[in-house]
A and B are shown apart, each in its own frame.
Chain A
Amino acid sequence: MSLMNRLPWRREREERTESREEPTSIDLFRDMNRMFDEFFTRGFGLSPLWSEEGWASFSPSIDVVETDDAIRVSAELPGLEEKDIELRLDNNMLTIRGEKKHEHEERDAHTYRTERTYGAFQRTVALPTEVKAEDAEAVYRNGVLTITLPKSGDVVSKKIKVKHG
C-alpha cells in the first residue's frame, strides 16, 4: 500500500467506490451476463468456431440503468453507423449485435499502433424487469448507443411517502 492510500481522504474515496459494487443482486446479474458473453465469445473455454478477428475481437461495454418507469441500456460503440447496429428483444433478453468496420484501408503504409479493435460483435443482456418492447427506443449518438425500454405497466414502481406519525 502506497503512502497516498494511507491518507484518510484517499481511503474514504476508495471505500466509497467499493461500496457502490456491494449489492449481491448486482453481482449475480453481472455474473449471469458474463456467462452469456463467455458462451458467445469463447463457448466456455472452448476455442471459438468463428475466426479470431471475428466475434472475439470487439466487445462493447454495457451499462444498465433503472428509473421508476424505464430501463436504460447504453453501450459504447465508437465508430459505427446506425445501419451497422441490430437490436433484438426476446424474452426480456436484449441482444445488441453489429459490426465495427475497419475504416482506413491504406494499410500499406507504416502502422505504428493498433489499439482499437474491429469486427463483428454480439452481446446479450438480461433485463431486470419486464419491458414494453413495442415502445422501446434506441438512439446512437457520439459513439454511444442508448436504448430506453419502458417498464410494462404492472412493474412500474411507485414511491411511497413516509409520513410523520
Chain B
Amino acid sequence: MAEQTNLQIQETEKQEVEQSAAEPTRTGYIFVPRTDIYETDEAIHVVCDMPGVRPDGADITLEQNMLSVSGHVEPTWPEGYSLNYAEYRIGDYERRFTLNTEVNEEAIEAKLNNGVLHITLPKMRPTRHKIAIQAAG
C-alpha cells in the first residue's frame, strides 16, 4: 500500500533535472521527460512525454552512443494574470540515454505529436553470419 501511494505522488509531479553544484547559467526549470523505451527486431523506440513542446521545439542529437533529447516550452501566460492554483511547473525538458546497440544513424526518425516525442532508432543489420557446422561423415 505504501508503495502504491509513492507511485501516485510520482505520477503527478514532474521530476526536475538534478542541478550540479555549479551556478546555473539559465533561469527556469528543466525536467526529466517520462520515457518508455522498447525494442523490436528492427528498431529501438524511445517515447518521451513532453507536454507543451511544439512539433518543432525538440532537439535530438546522437553522439557516439549517447542520445540526447531536449525540448523547449514557451510559457503562455495570459496578460495580467494571477496564479490561483498550480500543480505543475513549466520548464524545458532534457534527458540523455546511452545506447548499447549499433543503430543506423542515417535512418533515425523522430515525430513530436500532441506533446509526445517518438524516436525510432533502426538497428544496424547484423554483419556476422552464423556458420552451420556440418557433421563429419
A111 CB–B CB distance under 8 Å? yes
Do the beta carbons of A79 and B85 come within 8 Å of each other? Answer: no
The answer to whether residues A109 and B38 also contact, given A63-B88, A143-B116 and a CB cut-off of 8 A, is yes
How many residues of chain A get a CB closer than 8 Å to chain B's CBs? 49
The answer to whether residues A58 and B11 also contact, given A26-B84, A106-B38, A110-B39 and a CB cut-off of 8 A, is yes
Interface 0/1 of A20-62, CB less than 8 Å to B: 1000001001100100000001100000000000001111011
B90 to chain A, nearest CB (A): 8
A128 to chain B, nearest CB (A): 5
Do the beta carbons of B35 and A144 come within 8 Å of each other? Answer: no
A96 CB–B CB distance under 8 Å? no
CA distance A30 to B85 in the complex (A): 7
| Closest Cβ neighbor of A82 among chain B residues | B114
Do the beta carbons of B36 and A115 come within 8 Å of each other? Answer: yes
Query: Which residues of chain B come closer than 8 Å to A164, judged between CB atoms?
Result: none
Do the beta carbons of B83 and A65 come within 8 Å of each other? Answer: yes
A80 CB–B CB distance under 8 Å? yes
The answer to whether residues A109 and B40 also contact, given A76-B52, A143-B51 and a CB cut-off of 8 A, is yes
Do the beta carbons of B116 and A115 come within 8 Å of each other? Answer: no
Contact check: which of B12, B54, B82 meets A61 at CB < 8 Å? B12
B96 CB–A CB distance under 8 Å? no
Do the beta carbons of B41 and A109 come within 8 Å of each other? Answer: yes
A104 CB–B CB distance under 8 Å? yes
Contact check: which of A64, A71, A110, A142 meets B51 at CB < 8 Å? A142
B25 CB–A CB distance under 8 Å? no
Contact check: which of A42, A66, A106, A107 meets B82 at CB < 8 Å? A66
Which chain B residues have a beta carbon within 8 Å of chain A's beta carbons?
A: 8, 11-14, 21, 34-41, 45, 47, 49-55, 57, 76-88, 114-116
Q: Which 6 A-B pairs have the closest CB atoms?
A: A143-B115, A61-B88, A78-B115, A143-B51, A76-B51, A64-B85
Q: Given A4-B21, A59-B11, A77-B51, 16 other A-B contacts at CB below 8 A?
A: A59-B8, A61-B88, A65-B84, A67-B80, A67-B82, A70-B78, A109-B38, A111-B38, A113-B35, A115-B35, A128-B84, A140-B114, A142-B52, A142-B114, A143-B116, A144-B51
